[in-house]
Amino acid sequence: MHRHDNAVYAKSLDSYLVFSLDLIEGLKLGKKNVAFSPLSVYAALLMLAEGSGGNTRAELLNALHLSSLDDARNWFNGLLKDLLDVSRPAKIDVANSIWIQDGFSVNKSYVNSLKRYYLAEVMYADFEHDPLGAAERINKWVCDKTHKLIDMIVDRRSIDYMTRIVLINTIYFKANWKKPFEEVVLGDFHIGNKVVKVYYLRGTTKVRLLRERNYTALSLDYKGTDVKFVVIMPNDGNLVDFIKGLDKDGLLGILNKLFSSEQVTVNLYLPKFDVDSDILSLKEVLYKLGIKSVFDPHRADLSPMVEGGQKILYVRDVLHRARVKVDLAGTEAAAATAVTVVLTAVPVEHPTVKIDKPFIFLLVEPKSYTILFIGSITNPPTIVI
C-alpha cells in the first residue's frame, strides 16, 4: 500500500479517504477479523484539533491531510446531513460529546465550537474524586447512543483522577437488506490451504457485481438509506497482499466501477458474521502517522481548551471500538472513539456468487464515497446457530 504521505488535499473527501487508508494499514486489516469506523476516529480527532495549538495542531492537521479545519467542518456537517437523511426502518445516528471535570476552567469558545460544528453534548463528571463513576456514565452514554451494540469504551486504565476532558464520538447504523436472505446454510470457506465449514447467508438477490481478473466485488442495497454494503474478495485468497496494493485511486476506481455497473440477479452466499474489535488503542498507529506531541506531557499544546490558555493538558490515549453484525435481515454496526485528555502529570437460473475466501467489507455512502465502516473477515465464525 502507499506509505503514509504528508500531502494535503484540496478536497476534504480526498483527505478523509487517504486518512482511512492510513488507518487500514495501521490496524492490520486483512490479517484478522476486525472492524473499525474511520469516520468515528476522524470526528474525534477533528474535535481534538479544534482545541490544539502550535505544533500539536500542525501535526494533527498534517496527519488528517488538511490545510485548515474550516473545510473539514463544512464537509463533516454536509456529510452528516446526507447520512442522517434516512427513512424507516433504517437508522443512522452520529453523536459527539465532551466530558469535562467539574470545576475545571475549560475555554468557553472551544466548547462552543464543538457544540456548533459537531453538535456535541456537553457533560460534566467528577474524574478527580470518582473516576469509576465517571467511566460508568461515559459507557452508559455510549451504550445508549449505539443502541446497546457497544457497552464499553473506557475502563479504569483509561480514566483516573488526572483526567480532565474526554471527547467521544459514536456512530450507529442499522438497516435491512432491500431483499432479505432466505436461509442460513453450512458451506466451505478457504483460508490459505485450509478449508473450514462456516455459516453462509444464502439468497437470490440483486447486486452490482464486478468479476475482475484479480478480485470479485459486489454491492448490496438497504431499505431506507443510500448507504451500500460492499464486499471485495481477492480471487487468489491473499487479502494481505491485495490490501497492500490498494491506494486511494485504486479503491475509488473499484467503488466507481461497482456503483456505475448494472444490477444483476445472483444466487449469493455471504458468510454470516458479528465482528467486535474490542477496545483498540490507536496511540501507536497515530504516532506513526506523525501525531506525536499531543501524547507528550512536555510538548502537548492543548492551550485553546483551557480558560487562560495554559499548556497543562496532554492526551493519554485515543480509544476506538467497532462492531458490525451481518445476518439474514440486514446489518447493524456501531463504533465509538474516545480521546482521553489528562493533566500533565441454489436455484439454477441465476449465476452463483460465493464469498468463500478472506474479504474486506465496507459500508459506503455512494454520493461522496465516504467509508462509514470497514473491516476484514479472514476466518468467519463457525458457531452453531
User: How many alpha carbons lie under 13 Å from residue 242 in its C-beta half-sphere?
Assistant: 24
The answer to whether 62 and 68 have CB atoms below 8 angstroms apart is no
For the four alpha carbons of 106, 112, 114 and 120, in that order, the dihedral sign comes to positive
Say how far apart CA 273 and CA 276 lie, in whole Å.
Answer: 10
What is the pLDDT at residue 384? Answer: 46
Say how far apart CA 70 and CA 64 lie, in whole Å.
Answer: 13
Say how far apart CA 333 and CA 246 lie, in whole Å.
Answer: 24
Q: Any idea which residue has 478449508 for its cell?
A: 195
What is the pLDDT at residue 2? Answer: 41
Phi, psi of 253 (to 5 degrees): -60, -45
What is the pLDDT at residue 338? Answer: 82
When pLDDT is cut at 50, 70 and 90, the band that residue 9 belongs to is low
CA 95-97-101 angle, 5° bins: 165
pLDDT > 90? residue 213: yes
What is the pLDDT at residue 3? Answer: 40
- Residue 48, Cβ neighbours under 10 Å: how many? 22
Q: Take residue 153 and report the three cell numbers written for it.
A: 469504551
The answer to whether 357 and 237 have CB atoms below 8 angstroms apart is yes
When pLDDT is cut at 50, 70 and 90, the band that residue 151 belongs to is very high
H-assigned helices in 30-181: 38-50, 54-63, 69-84, 108-118, 131-145
Q: Which domains does the chain have, with CATH numbers?
A: 12-175+275-343 (3.30.497.10), 177-272+347-377 (2.30.39.10)
Phi, psi of 20 (to 5 degrees): -60, -40
What is the pLDDT at residue 335? Answer: 84
pLDDT > 80? residue 111: yes
pTM over 0.85: yes
When pLDDT is cut at 50, 70 and 90, the band that residue 156 belongs to is confident
**Residue among 136, 111, 192 at smallest CA distance from 379:** 192
What is the per-residue pLDDT across 51-70, written as a single tens digit (0 to 9) for each? 999 999 999 999 998 888 88
What is the per-residue pLDDT across 269-299, written as a single tens digit (0 to 9) for each? 999 999 988 989 999 999 999 999 999 999 9
Residue predicted with more confidence, 188 or 25:
188
- Residue 374, Cβ neighbours under 10 Å: how many? 26
